[in-house]
Structure 1
């Protein structure tokens, strides 16, 4: 028994009579007065409705009056049977099922380890399957150039004044393209059938001769000989996306279809495209939605912008070669103008590439405005980023 604590202005009545409560029976969960106290009463039955043991007095007169009851021994036997049945079910069903799943997972892990070792050695596509889950990784290779650049240029920004650190005379007149390899080398090609690899000091490391129907190696660009230009994205040999019209059905690219589209994929997945004929730079996202269109107006050049080669760097900046104005336009990832790079050495900039050290390699065309060869067939290596 426990003594009840009540306030004079809020009297709690006994559950068996109308007199004030003086005690509370923990076993029967009943409020009792002095006259109704049943200390010494044994809880001999179980109230089925309340699922609690009670004494006979509470069943007849108290809060459990009218409830179904059963003998405590009967309740005990029922509880014992329930526990035994649940234990048997766990032993007969749940434990074997868990053991079987454990064995299956162990086998799958062993098989996956074997596939990992095999695919690692063969450097092929990696497919991992565990139960209903599957993951596929592409061909394993060394980190890409853009990843290397990101690592080496973190915490950098544009320099107030760029600096030419090397001039490489390569003999390509005209020069059409530059593709950096690592930190201090680049492949260079022009109008003949050769591609040569130069280091930053001008030494020729390798030369490859191209065979086939083409008169010269083509830059990595889209050149559609049709009335409308478009970008085609391939997965292997299968076309999985064509970017041609906007959401209103209008052509995204305003060129005639007979001019090349020079393209570079930015770190955010945008395709940054320079349209030679339309004299503009267009940015489209992964879905083909136009994000921006830059026409060169903010740069305030003497002549209309003539974008040729285009490249993106580790800061997601977009760099465009302007062959008419002898300069480079630098835009942010949203196509907003940041600045122009001008230097006495930048004459007819054409090819662009960024090495793993974050330096910009600019190939000069080597032709004048009339297509006549001149002495500009050079590569200018520019330092344009600095630590913050």
Structure 2
């Protein structure tokens, strides 16, 4: 048994031998009287921790192998505290041994750090999501009520002939509401469970700070650091039609589709002074971005800046894309070049003469499609390249009329899974789609509306089902078309502001560059 705890010993100050010393240095394991305290602390080459004499044992855990002994040392290899008797057994002889109080201080610092992160970061974010769910549920109920009123009002004008159709629509509203409410309730339960777990963990961490049980502590912060995406319910709208008795069921109206979106915000360095314009998926976890400066930045989905690359000329890049081999390519309008980044080295692969490159995309065959405009801004076309070799030019329809507007306004471009070439012609207010041979498939100019701003397409992307998605910047929405140009639906909600560049990852998650806020929005939804 440690002699300092033997009741038959006369406890004295280790410096002056005064009886019953009131103090104890935990690091030096020395008893001290008040007179000798300052002398002991004057040894600045050593670390000290003065505690009341009757609390001297609280800092040291009991040895698991020798319960009557206190642990003075800590084995880094075994990750356990041990006493001097353990040392004599030779178990930790070849291992790195450190003072137990140093480990104690380090452990408590880790606990304090983790507790701070729980209280100041993780917990508030979970609470924010939980509050957002409540708001969405209130909005869902309110919207469903408004829909029911609108449907009933329209039904009164049609009298008994439309009773069956009206009841069907009301049933559809209830089904949509139920489906969305189930999604919200499920996520709310998950978030509340996490909040409860976080609260309990925080309480345990607070208790650990005041105990000597910290050696069994295993951090759990990483379980909660990936904050769940925000959930946004896209509320349906009732779209009434002019009454036609012969086609009553078709002309009563319909409900737009409802859906549940999971939105993750990726914060970037862009903002009002450096507008974010383009995004390109490097993989499912990382996305390249470009704005008005000369830097191209790679962010991961946790808003961490992974890499920055400056254009070779120092000019602003016009667009960015990622090749089939995972290499970054970009256009330089001023320098009239298309460039590729290989192992941080920038190589020029295309040099134009009297033309300038605007937007581009990578093709499934490993080549590039580049939208270019003439120096005088009177002609524009799309050119297919294999390396630096021109393979195809797409400029005129079968009547000799140009496909695309002539000036240097954005013409975001992508290749569909069916090999169609899709261009969002901003100046023309149209999405122009041609097939692989350059033959016109369709032109989409938005849906007519007296209350909305003109269709103003910027970014464009396609998914695994060959659906075409284009950003309608001024109306704050994404239009979704099928592969033959039929309008399917909008992605339209309060969390989408001035969308511009688009890209889709291998899981059909949509990444949206928001020009006004400088954020990339990752939208997970079942289209």
Output the TM-score relative to the length of structure 1.
Answer: 0.53
Distance 1:205 1:230 in 2: 35
1:313 maps to 2:463: yes
Unmatched 5+ stretches in structure 2:
1-255, 321-358, 361-370
1:328 maps to 2:478: yes
Distance 2:302 2:282 in 1: 14
Alignment of 1:120-139 (within 5 A): none
1:343 maps to 2:493: yes
How far 1:301 sits from its partner (Å)? Answer: 6.4
Distance 1:162 1:352 in 2: 20
Q: Counterpart in 2 of 1:271?
A: 421
1:362 maps to 2:495: no
Alignment of 1:126-275 (within 5 A): 160-173=258-271, 174-212=275-313, 214-219=315-320, 220-221=359-360, 222-225=371-374, 226-253=377-404, 255-275=405-425
Structure number with the higher helix fraction is 2
How far 1:346 sits from its partner (Å)? Answer: 0.7
- Aligned residue for 2:526, secondary structure, equals strand
* Aligned residue pairs, count: 219
166-175 or 207-216: which moved more? 207-216
How far 1:181 sits from its partner (Å)? Answer: 1.9
Contact 1:299 1:340 in 2 (8 A): no
Contact 2:434 2:440 in 1 (8 A): yes
Distance 1:227 1:357 in 2: 40
How far 1:276 sits from its partner (Å)? Answer: 0.7
206-215 or 288-297: which moved more? 206-215
- Aligned residue for 2:277, secondary structure, equals strand
- Which has the bigger relative contact order, CA under 8 A and spacing at least 6? 1
Match of 2:521 among 367, 380, 388: 380
Distance 1:306 1:266 in 2: 21
Contact 2:498 2:514 in 1 (8 A): yes
- Aligned residue for 2:436, secondary structure, equals coil
Unmatched 5+ stretches in structure 1:
1-157, 367-375
Distance 1:307 1:180 in 2: 20
Distance 1:196 1:215 in 2: 12
Relative to 1, partners in 2 of residues 1:184 and 1:309: Cα closer, same or farther, differing over 3 Å? same
Please identify runs of 4+ aligned residues in structure 1 that moved more than 4 A.
298-301
Encode CA deviations 1:227-262: one digit per residue, 9 max, x unaligned.
Answer: 121111112222121111111211122x13322321
How far 1:298 sits from its partner (Å)? Answer: 5.6
Structure number with the higher strand fraction is 1
Relative to 1, partners in 2 of residues 1:299 and 1:341: Cα closer, same or farther, differing over 3 Å? farther
How far 1:335 sits from its partner (Å)? Answer: 1.1
RMSD: 2.0
Q: Counterpart in 1 of 2:447?
A: 297
Contact 1:159 1:384 in 2 (8 A): no
